[in-house]
Structure 1
Amino acid sequence: MHGQDDARKYELESYLQEFTDEPPIILHQQPNGGRVVIEKFEDIRKCVATSLCGCRPR
């Protein structure tokens, strides 16, 4: 997960963990390694069974 609204982000984290019994990966908590957000998402999605991306305009 990645986003500006921390309250909603952690609310979604809690919901997903209850729903899947797995801890969600929050992108900003992962090392950047010189990557931009989409590159981090692409790299991490290779290591998980399910990936989810939601977008909204500012």
Structure 2
Amino acid sequence: MNGQNRKDITAGSKVNIVLKADQRTGKLTTGVVKDILTNSSNHPHGIKVRLEDGQVGRVKEILN
């Protein structure tokens, strides 16, 4: 499932995100969502989240 719809993502979801520094390469980082930072219901580049380890990026894939 892609990460463009806010309703599909909840705190505790395991996701793949792209960090700001990795946007050019598209390198994915796996983690567990702590906070959802995007306020709108959807976003074409993915919903921005903060992972439990503090990293921030846009969700590209929801794993569970």
Q: Name the structure with the higher helix share.
A: 1
TM-score exceeds 0.5 = no
Q: Larger relative contact order (C-alpha < 8 A, sep ≥ 6)? A: 2
Q: Name the structure with the higher strand share.
A: 2
Indicate the structure (1 or 2) with the bigger Cα radius of gyration: 1
TM-score calculated relative to the size of structure 1? 0.25
TM-score calculated relative to the size of structure 2? 0.24
